[in-house]
Structure 1
Amino acid sequence: MKNRKLYISLAGVLGTGKTTAAKLISNQLGFFLVKEEFAENPFLRLFYENPKRWAFHSQLFFLQEKAKQLEKIKNLLNKKNIVQDCPLEQDYSSYAKTQKILGNMNREEFSLYEKIYCFLNGHLPQPDLIIQLDSNLPQLLKRISRRGRSFEKGISKKYLQTLAKLQNQWLAKYPKNRILRINTDKLNLAENTKDRKVFVKIIKDRISAIKK
């Protein structure tokens, strides 16, 4: 911790508010924001139309894009605090494994993905703190519907439930002092000033504890 700045990452399934929370931390606490560039993934819409055909391509695109982002910020950690929208490890431990479980990635595809992930992850900085955002299923579906991305209309309850289950299994292996779990069911970080202040205070308090 003394040799570099703080690296925080936001973990959560679709609709938990990762992007909004990451932007809030960046704006309010002065962290450099590493965005998840989903709009640049040329396979994402194709994946939602035909998961079995395009899951591997979509997941691999996200993996290499995030790895490139993290490679670029290595030196930044000597100068700036970093906040990342969705950690690299979640791509593997939650999203890619969900594709395998649901049959969208076959054994050979997942094995290749896993090898690439393990190689890349071994050379990249790891978060000092993961903020785990949780939300119940009805709230997730409501938020996904509200943001109006046409390609997300067909997202199933089973898909979200599997993502959440695997995320919980993955993060349960982390030391408790590296995880901050926040339920966002009753938080409106996009529009409610009071909720934003409450959220930022929670983050500031944890950061202060880390730095002691």
Structure 2
Amino acid sequence: MHIAIAGNIGAGKTTLAGLLAKHYGWEVHYEEVDENPYLADFYNDMKRWAFNLQIYFLKSRFSHIIKIRESNKNVIQDRTIYEDSVIFAANLYDMGLMSPRDYENYTGLFNLMSRLIAPPDLLIYLRASVPTLVRHIQMRGRPYESSIRLDYLKRLNERYETWIRDFKESDLLIVDVDKNEFIKDKGNLSAIIDKVDSKINGLFS
């Protein structure tokens, strides 16, 4: 079983991945954020480091998927490889922060990789408004995230909504984080786990 959690910066992916992994006793694959050598530079100069950052994330995500397939274990993954391409890289290109040459190179590599991987059995999408994202980002206090612009988060949210509306690659569970603050409320977490249980049982039946 492979569950992946998708959502904007600050939606709560890492927290939910850890909580679900603990509940089910499954392995968890976290997004490489603190180990990422480009992230801080990217937020200081997006245009200079956009391509480098996206290539690093693409490599990291592809490596995680290969490990998941080879392990034959039940795994929960923090963010998907699809988001790297259809959300973040596409947004950087549209904002003029990634050149046409770099974007074509990136998408060509992604398309090759995507042919070699299988989608998750279940995708959990964390839908969160910009104020909720900002609150979560401020709570975790990563210095390099302090410069994230509100319009950047808004553009990403719009892309997420477009992507998830047409997502058909696997079973889907949408969690409204504004109404289900699982980080603080165990009752909300229990409700989410019940929905995940229902989805998992449906996949196995």
* TM-score interval, smaller chain: over 0.9
Give distance in 1, aligned partners of 2:86 and 2:53: 15
- Structure 1 residues 114-139: Cα deviation after superposition (integer angstroms, max 9, x where no partner): 01111112112211111110111111
Other structure's SS at 1:39 match: coil
| Distance (whole Å) between structure 2 residues aligned to residue 39 and residue 33 of structure 1 | 16
Using the size of structure 1 for normalisation, the TM-score is: 0.91
Per the alignment, residue 145 of structure 1 pairs with 138
Counterpart of 1:70, as a letter, is: I
Q: Which amino acid aligns with 2:140?
A: R
- SS of equivalent to 1:71: helix
The separation in 2 between residues aligned to 1:181 and 1:191, in whole angstroms, is 19
Counterpart in 1 of 2:47?
A: 52
Q: Which amino acid aligns with 1:121?
A: S
Show the counterpart of 2:181: 188
Query: Any idea what the Cα deviations from partners look like across 1:158-191, whole Å, max 9, x if unmatched?
Result: 1111111112222222239721111011333333
List alignment gaps of at least 5 residues for structure 1.
1-5
Q: Which residue of 1 aligns with 2:63?
A: 68
User: How far did 1:53 drift?
Assistant: 0.3
Q: Are residue 81 (structure 1) and residue 74 (structure 2) matched?
A: yes
Name the counterpart of 1:3. none
Aligned 8 A contact 2:121 2:170 in 1 = no
Tell me the C-alpha RMSD between the 2 structures.
Answer: 1.5
TM-score after normalising by structure 2: 0.94
Q: Tell me, which stretches of 5 or more residues in structure 2 are unaligned? A: none
2:153 alignment partner, one of 160, 172, 176? 160
Query: Mapping of 1:1-212 within 5 angstroms?
Result: 6-77=1-72, 80-175=73-168, 178-212=171-205
